[in-house]
Structure 1
Amino acid sequence: MNDAFMKLIELSQAGFFCSQIMLIIGLEAQGKENPDLVRAMAGLNGGVGFCGKTCGALTGGACLLGLHTGKGTVEEMEDSRSNDMIRELVEWFEQEAGSVYSGITCDEILEKNPANRTARCPHLVINTLGKVQEILAANGYAFSGQLG
């Protein structure tokens, strides 16, 4: 098992979910911690407040792209390619999850069975992290710390 997968399992066992795990790993790759941001990401858990909607791997991945490309202060400018990068991630995720499962919501991916979480979610999170890293690299951003 690779380091990213072991970190994912560790974070999952500590009570974090997909969207939070995406940001924790992304922040750690930058040498940062931000408990407030991780706490805010909890709103995306389980398909937005455990409503079974859009998968947290996807929403977390979009947020991770935003962490690198978005506007965070008055002085900063958002990267003009930010939405294109997020769109690329969404299209990839729709293909990836949609071809294996019947859609991109937590309910569809898990077939409304939380027991499926352990078999399905880690794969989606690791693959989505890899895709985020690929998109960032293609646009000149360093994702410190390698996945895999």
Structure 2
Amino acid sequence: MNSKATQALEAFQSGMNCAQSVLLPYSTDYNFDGNLAYQISSGFGGGMGRLQKTCGAVTGAFMVLGIHNCKKYSNHQLQTDNNRILIQEFNRKFVLEHNSTNCDELITCNLNTEEGQAYAEKNKVKEKICEKCIIDAIEIIESLIK
């Protein structure tokens, strides 16, 4: 596991959500304010505010890719075009590995119910599924930005 993935897992295990955990390890590389990034990404965990839509590891990755392209290209059109290319390729690779980018489909329970919370805890969903999504998100990012 690479150092970014290790940092992301440590962040997640310390209580950050999946989007924060994927985004924050890149703050030094791309010279952005980690505290502001933490705040901006705070609503993206649990599939965006626990709506269980797009996985937070995925939305965090999209943020990283956007920052990457904005730092790499000064032209807005090149930023936009390359964001689309990298995000679509990220999505393709993530879906190949996980069959979905939707939190509810990935974890197969409703985190907004007591039953879903109990299922998640009993089946170690965070450890078995969310952590794998975070690691895979980092690995895909790394493959795309090199």
Distance 1:5 1:132 in 2: 10
Stretches of structure 2 lacking an aligned partner (at least 5 in a row): 110-118
Alignment partner, residue 54 of structure 2: 54
Alignment partner, residue 115 of structure 2: none
Q: Is the 8 A contact 2:12 2:21 kept in 1?
A: yes
Could you tell me which amino acid in structure 2 is paired with residue 126 of structure 1? I
Shift of 1:21: 1.2
Distance 1:13 1:55 in 2: 17
> Which of the pair is proportionally richer in helix?
2
Alignment partner, residue 133 of structure 1: 142
Alignment partner, residue 121 of structure 1: 130
Distance 1:86 1:50 in 2: 25
Seq. identity, %: 24
1:80 aligns with 2:63: no
Could you tell me which amino acid in structure 2 is paired with residue 125 of structure 1? I
Q: TM-score, normalised by structure 1?
A: 0.71
Shift of 1:7: 1.9
Shift of 1:99: 4.0
- More displaced stretch, 128-137 vs 42-51: 128-137
1:110 aligns with 2:107: yes
Distance change in 2, residues 1:128/1:79 (3 Å)? farther
Aligned length: 133
Shift of 1:88: 3.7
Partner of 1:70, secondary structure, is helix
Partner of 2:100, secondary structure, is coil
Shift of 1:32: 5.1
Q: Is the 8 A contact 1:89 1:131 kept in 2?
A: no
Shift of 1:2: 4.5
Stretches of structure 1 lacking an aligned partner (at least 5 in a row): 138-148
Q: TM-score, normalised by structure 2?
A: 0.72
